[in-house]
């Protein structure tokens, strides 16, 4: 039980389970609603209306939610130039369904479709870990966004660091899935897709790949593998000292903000 307790402590820390205030401001209103994905799953969505003509969709990591502090912080930073949409992946937070690793790109697709129907000029996605994996698959399959930013995404989940093996052990056995249930509701046989297999299909969508040097789950070689396989336009940013989300640095927030501002000027 001591080992399980230590694992839970690490997982809670890694998923950023603490709460934080939302985006605030006199000119910002929040719209809470649900969407139905193409395969029939109800997902919970928050839209921050900042009176902007463009929108940034933020996709959280595994065992996370749209309420995580790092999601809220980036949303606040970007709100001066973008409306923001956050959501819970299936099996996470307030969304229904269970996580299976293969169909979560439909969750992003539902949010992108909503954004496009809302007549935004540009629609971009910033995906953290799981969110980045599914962002790659969604962009590669549908080519319906204007830019994609991925953060701490493994090229091949089978090549993650040894420290991540505990997570995969928990995901792939019955006892582990019970342990993880407060953070994610899992299918009986969840799988993890391999982004490196499809990332070249993201082009010609502009792609920014971001990775920290102190990430305990995903190493720099994974980011480099994704970058080498991707086609132009693409950019790789390695941030010294940055760990896996939610342990992000100010340099990370500055980089995303500036990269997206540059995109608006093109």
How much is the pLDDT for 174?
Answer: 82
How much is the pLDDT for 111?
Answer: 98
Weakest mean pLDDT among 71-80, 108-117, 159-168: 159-168
How much is the pLDDT for 161?
Answer: 61
Res. 160 pLDDT band, cuts 50 70 90 = low
Res. 52 pLDDT band, cuts 50 70 90 = very high
How much is the pLDDT for 9?
Answer: 35
Strand segments, DSSP code E, in 14-128 are 29-36, 42-49, 55-59, 83-87, 123-128
Domains of the chain: 30-265 (3.40.50.1820)
How much is the pLDDT for 16?
Answer: 37
How much is the pLDDT for 5?
Answer: 35
Q: Is the pLDDT score of 54 beyond 90? A: yes
Burial class from Cβ neighbours inside 10 Å (0-12, 13-18, 19+) for residue 90 reads buried
How much is the pLDDT for 23?
Answer: 57
Q: Is the pLDDT score of 129 beyond 50? A: yes
Evaluate whether 41 touches 90 at the Cβ level (below 8 Å): yes
What tokens were used for 25?
Answer: 């401001």
How much is the pLDDT for 159?
Answer: 64
Average pLDDT score over residue span 253-259: 98
pLDDT digits (tens, 9 = 90+) for 67-99: 999 999 999 999 999 999 999 999 999 999 999
Task: Show the CA angle centred on residue 242, arms to residues 136 and 18, nearest 5°.
Answer: 85
How much is the pLDDT for 188?
Answer: 87
* pTM for the model: 0.88
Average pLDDT, the chain: 88
Q: Is the pLDDT score of 14 beyond 80? A: no
């Amino acid at each position: 039980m001591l080992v399980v307790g230590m694992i839970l402590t690490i997982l809670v820390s890694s998923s950023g389970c603490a709460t934080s205030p939302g985006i605030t401001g006199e000119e910002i209103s929040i719209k809470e609603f649900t969407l139905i994905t193409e395969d029939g799953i109800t997902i919970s969505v928050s839209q921050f209306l900042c009176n902007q003509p463009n929108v940034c969709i933020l996709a959280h990591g595994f065992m996370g939610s749209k309420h995580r502090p790092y999601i809220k912080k980036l949303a606040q930073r970007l709100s001066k130039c973008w409306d923001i949409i956050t959501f819970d992946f299936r099996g996470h937070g307030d969304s229904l369904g269970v996580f299976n690793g293969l169909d979560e790109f439909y969750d992003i697709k539902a949010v992108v479709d909503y954004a496009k129907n809302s007549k935004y000029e540009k629609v971009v996605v910033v995906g953290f870990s799981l969110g980045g994996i599914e962002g790659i698959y969604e962009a590669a399959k549908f080519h319906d966004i204007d830019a994609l930013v991925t953060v701490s995404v493994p090229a091949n989940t089978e090549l993650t660091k040894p420290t991540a093996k505990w997570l995969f052990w928990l995901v792939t056995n019955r006892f582990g899935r019970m342990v993880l249930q407060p953070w994610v509701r899992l299918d009986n046989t969840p799988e993890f897709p391999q982004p490196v297999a499809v990332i070249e299909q993201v082009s010609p969508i502009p792609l920014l790949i971001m990775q920290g040097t102190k990430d305990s789950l995903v190493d720099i070689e994974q980011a480099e593998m994704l970058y080498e396989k991707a086609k132009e336009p693409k950019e790789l940013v390695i941030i010294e000292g940055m760990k896996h989300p939610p342990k992000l640095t100010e340099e990370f927030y500055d980089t995303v903000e500036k990269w997206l501002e540059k995109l608006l000027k093109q």
